[in-house]
Structure 1
Amino acid sequence: MEIIKDNYVEKEKKQKYLGKKGFLAFITLLSAFIPLSTDIYLPALPKMVESLNTNTSIVNLTLILFFAFYALGTILWGPLSDKYGRRTILIIGLTIYTIASISCVFSGNVYQLILFRILQAIGCGAATAVSTAIVKDSYSGRKLVTVLALVQSTAMLSPIISPVIGAMILSVLSWRGVFEVLGALGILTLAGSIAMEETIEKRYTGSIISSISNIGVVSRNRSFMSLLITFSIMSIPSMSFISASSYIFVDGFGLSPKVYSYYFAANAVFFLLGPLAYVKLSKHYNKIPYITIAYIVMAISGFSMFITGNLSPVIFMISLIPASFFGSLIRPQTTSIMLNQIPEETGAASSLINCALTLFGCIGMIVISSNFFNRIIIMGLMYLITSVISLILWLILSKKHEYNIV
C-alpha cells in the first residue's frame, strides 16, 4: 500500500499471517535480540566467576566475544539476505541461535560456554541485521522513521525487564536457567520467521561472493561511511556500561543482584523513552538540531560522571541517564539519515550499521574491563571524549551536506 504525503510516497506492506500489529511485534522482537541475549544474564556474571572456577576477565569474554562475532555475523547475513531473501536468512540464523542457546545450558566449563556464545552471536547477527532491512523493505518516508522509532523504543523494553528476569531466574535456578529461557525465545522467534512473508521485492542476482562484496560497494560510499563513523563512536561508552554495570553496582557499590537489576532497568527506561520522545517532538518541532543538542548533553553527562559518579549509585545514575536518553532519542534520525544514502543494497548497509555500532562498542567493553583504573571514571571520560569528537564530526558533515531529515 502506498500513500502520498507532502510530495513523497509512503510505503507500507501488509503481512498475510502476522498482520500489521503482529509484524511490528515480530520486528521489535528481532531488534531486541542483542539486549535479550546479553542483559538477561548480566546479574549472573559475578556468580559465574565462582561457579565456573575462573576469573572476571575470562567470564567477560562470554560477553565481549559475543559482541565481536555478532558484528562479524551481521557482515555476512545482511548481503546474503539481499540475495536469498530476508525470511530464508532469518530461519537459518535463528536455528543456529536456538541450538547454541540450548548448548550453553550444558557447558562443562567456561571455554565451552565461550564457544557456544560465539555460535549464539553468529545466529543472533541474522536477527538484528535483517530486522533493519525488513523495516526499509516494508516502509518509506515519514512512516519509515516512525516505525524505526517505535521498534527501537519498544525493543528497549528488553533491557528494562531482562536483568529483572535474570535476577528472578537466579533466585530459583543457576545461571544455566538463563540460557534455557533464551533457547525458548529462539524457538518462538523461529516460528515467527516461518510465518513471515518475504519482504524484499528485488533480490540481488549475482553470485554469493558478489553479494557479500556489496559490503565493499556500500563502504565506498563516502557520505554513508562518514555518517557511519560519526554516529557509531558513541557506542564506545554506551556499551561499556553493559559490560561493567554488574561489577560497578554489585562489586563496587555492594548492591545485591536484584537491586542492581532495578538500577539497570531504570537506565533502560530512558532508552525506551528516547525514540518515543523523538517521534512526538519531531512532528511539531522538526527544525530543532536534535543531534547537535544530544552530543552536547552527552558530553556534559560524561563530565558529571567523571567528577561525581563514584559518590553513590544514585548519583552515578543521575549522571548517566541524560546520556542514555539523548543517545537513544537521536537513533531513529541517525539510522534514517544513513539508510537514505544507500538507494539499494539495504541489507549490506544494515549489516555495516550494526557491525560498526558493535565493533566500536567492543572497544569500550575491552577498555572498561581493565582492572587498573576506576570503571566509573573511565566511563565518564569515554562519554566526554567521544561526544566531543562526534559533535565536531557532525557539525563538519552537516555543514558540507544537506541531509534529508524527516
Structure 2
Amino acid sequence: MLPVSGSFACMARTKRQHFFLILILGALTALAPFSIDMYLPGFPAIAKDLHTSIAEVSLSLSSFFIGVSAGQLLYGPLLDRFGRKRPLHIGLVVYLLTSLGCVVATSVEALIVLRFLQALGCCACTVAATAMVRDLFPVEDNARVFSMLLLVVGVSPMLAPAVGGYVTEFLGWHYIFIILTVLAAVILAGSYWGLPESYQPDPSYSLLPAPIVRSFLFVVQEWRFTTYAFAGAIVFAGLLAYVAGSPYVFLEIFKVSGTQYSLIFALLAAGLIGAGQVNSLLLRKYKSEQIIRAALIFQAITGIILVTGTSNGWVGLAGTLGLIFVFLSCAGFIFPNASALSMAPFSKHAGSASALMGALQMGLGALASVAVSLLSKSDHSTFPMTGVMAACSLLALGILFTGSRVIRYRAGSGKVSL
C-alpha cells in the first residue's frame, strides 16, 4: 500500500492541526535526547546510591546508545509492514515499563540492562517520526519540516541537564525516570489521538531475514541516500564528539564552574537551534543541495581553525566558544537538509531508510565519542575533542563531493536506481 499523499495531506490540514502535528513529531524526536541529557547530572548520586563508581554508571549511557543504534534497524521493517502507529505505540509502552524499572533499580547491572531496553522502546519514536515526515509532507517541504523539528529537539540540551540537576538535588535521581515516564505517557496519548496513520499496513512486506536484508540493500544502493545519510551521520558524530569532550575541555582545561558550563552548553546549543530556523528561510530561495554544500565547506574550514588554534594556544576560552558556536551552527543547516535529501527517494521503503539513517547517526556518533575518550587517556588537551570534530567535518565534506559527482554521473547516463 502507498502512504498518504503528502501534498493532499498538507492541503487538508488547518494551521492548528499542522502546529500540533509538528509538535507531536518533534516530541517523538526529542524523547531520546531528553532520556540522555536529563540523567547525566545524576551520575554521582546514582553511583552513591547503587554503591558503584561513576564509570560503571556511564555504562548505562553506553548501553542506551547501543540500544538506540541497533533498535532502529528493528523498527524500520516493522514500520513498513504494520504501518507507523502500531510499532510506535508498542515502542512507547516498552519505554514506559522500562522507565519504571529504572526507578526501582537496585544495582548498576540492572540499570545498564534496563537502559538498553528503554532505548529499544525509545528508538521507535525517532524512526517513526522521520518516516512520517516523508509520508505526510511534500518532498520539497521535508527540509523545512525537519528544521522545525530541530527547534523542538533543541530544547533538550538547553533544559534537560538543568532540570535533571535540580530534580536530583531536591527530589533524588529516581524522579528523573518518573518524569521521563510521565513525558512518555503524554507523548503516547498525543500520538494515539493526534497523529494520523500515514502508511497503511503492507501484508506483502516480509519480516523474514532475507527480504529485510534485501530491503536495506535496496536503500543503500540509492546513491542519494548513501551520500546524504553518511554525510549527515558523520556530522552528527562530530556533534557527539563535542558532547563527549566538552566537560573535560571546559571544566578541567578552562576551569569554568558547573553553572558556567551549563550556560555554555545552552548557549552553544542555541547556535544549532537558531541555524535550523534560519535554514527554513533560506529554503525559500536556495535548494537543500546548495545549503548543505555551503554549510559543510564552512564547517570544515571552522574545524581546521578550531583544532589548529586550540592546539597551538592561539585562542582562549572566548575564541574556542566562538568557533564551536559556528561549527554547531553549520550542523544546524546540515542536519535538516541531509535528512530531507536522504529520505526524498523513498515512499514504500521510507521506514527502512529512516531506520538506516538513524542507526548510522547513533553508530558513528558512538564511535566518535569512544575515540574522544580513548584519545583523552593519553592526550590531556583540547585535541581529542577538536581533532575528532575537525576530522568528522572533513570526512563528511569528502563524502558529499564524491557522492554528488556519482549522482550527477548516474543521472546523466540514465543510471537511476529508482
Which residue is 2:212 aligned to?
212
Alpha-carbon shift at residue 105 of structure 1 (Å):
1.6
Alpha-carbon shift at residue 283 of structure 1 (Å):
1.1
1:139 aligns with 2:143: no
Which residue is 2:378 aligned to?
372
Deviations, residues 35-66 of structure 1 (Å, cap 9, x unaligned): 11111122233554455443444232222221
Q: Given that residues 103 and 178 in structure 2 are in contact (C-alpha distance below 8 angstroms), is that contact kept between their aligned partners in structure 1?
A: yes
Deviations, residues 178-227 of structure 1 (Å, cap 9, x unaligned): 11211111111111232133111463523322663322332333442243
Q: Given that residues 163 and 265 in structure 1 are in contact (C-alpha distance below 8 angstroms), is that contact kept between their aligned partners in structure 2?
A: no
1:199 aligns with 2:198: yes
Question: Take 2:339 and 2:152, find their aligned partners in 1: how far apart are those partners?
Answer: 16
Question: Take 1:49 and 1:13, find their aligned partners in 2: how far apart are those partners?
Answer: 52
Which residue is 1:384 aligned to?
390
- SS of corresponding position for 2:283: helix
- Unaligned 5+ residue runs, structure 1? 4-8
Question: Take 1:109 and 1:250, find their aligned partners in 2: how far apart are those partners?
Answer: 29
Alignment of 1:146-295 (within 5 A): 146-195=144-193, 196-201=195-200, 203=202, 205-209=204-208, 212-213=212-213, 214-286=215-287, 289-295=290-296
Which residue is 2:415 aligned to?
none
Identity, % of aligned positions: 25
Pairing partner for 1:308 from 307, 310, 322 = 310
Higher mean C-alpha deviation, range 395-404 or range 167-176: 395-404
Q: 1:249 to 1:75 in 2, by over 3 A?
A: same
1:395 aligns with 2:401: yes
- SS of corresponding position for 1:342: coil
- Unaligned 5+ residue runs, structure 2? 412-418
Alpha-carbon shift at residue 109 of structure 1 (Å):
2.1
Q: Given that residues 268 and 325 in structure 2 are in contact (C-alpha distance below 8 angstroms), is that contact kept between their aligned partners in structure 1?
A: yes
Which residue is 2:345 aligned to?
341
Higher mean C-alpha deviation, range 175-184 or range 84-93: 175-184
Alpha-carbon shift at residue 255 of structure 1 (Å):
4.3
Q: Give the partner amino acid of 2:395.
A: I
Q: 1:286 to 1:337 in 2, by over 3 A?
A: closer
Deviations, residues 6-32 of structure 1 (Å, cap 9, x unaligned): xxx57527679x933222110010011
Alignment of 1:28-107 (within 5 A): 28-107=26-105
Question: Take 1:83 and 1:175, find their aligned partners in 2: how far apart are those partners?
Answer: 39
Deviations, residues 53-90 of structure 1 (Å, cap 9, x unaligned): 43444232222221121011111112101111111011
1:122 aligns with 2:120: yes
Pairing partner for 1:359 from 358, 363, 374 = 363
Higher mean C-alpha deviation, range 326-335 or range 225-234: 225-234
Q: Give the partner amino acid of 2:160.
A: S
Question: Take 2:226 and 2:5, find their aligned partners in 1: how far apart are those partners?
Answer: 30
Higher mean C-alpha deviation, range 279-288 or range 375-384: 279-288
Q: 1:47 to 1:264 in 2, by over 3 A?
A: farther
Q: Give the partner amino acid of 1:355.
A: A
How many residues end up aligned between the 2 structures? 398
Which residue is 2:414 aligned to?
none
Higher mean C-alpha deviation, range 295-304 or range 246-255: 246-255
Q: Given that residues 74 and 355 in structure 1 are in contact (C-alpha distance below 8 angstroms), is that contact kept between their aligned partners in structure 2?
A: yes
Higher mean C-alpha deviation, range 200-209 or range 171-180: 200-209
Question: Take 2:39 and 2:70, find their aligned partners in 1: how far apart are those partners?
Answer: 22
TM-score normalised by the chain length of structure 2: 0.86
Question: Take 2:169 and 2:260, find their aligned partners in 1: how far apart are those partners?
Answer: 13
- SS of corresponding position for 1:330: helix
Q: Give the partner amino acid of 1:227.
A: Y
Alpha-carbon shift at residue 247 of structure 1 (Å):
4.3
TM-score normalised by the chain length of structure 1: 0.88
Q: Given that residues 143 and 288 in structure 2 are in contact (C-alpha distance below 8 angstroms), is that contact kept between their aligned partners in structure 1?
A: no
Question: Take 1:28 and 1:140, find their aligned partners in 2: how far apart are those partners?
Answer: 18
Which residue is 2:325 aligned to?
321
Alpha-carbon shift at residue 260 of structure 1 (Å):
2.5
Higher mean C-alpha deviation, range 357-366 or range 309-318: 309-318
Higher mean C-alpha deviation, range 21-30 or range 280-289: 280-289
Deviations, residues 361-400 of structure 1 (Å, cap 9, x unaligned): 0001112223332363111111212212221221222233
Question: Take 1:107 and 1:262, find their aligned partners in 2: how far apart are those partners?
Answer: 31
Alpha-carbon shift at residue 236 of structure 1 (Å):
2.2
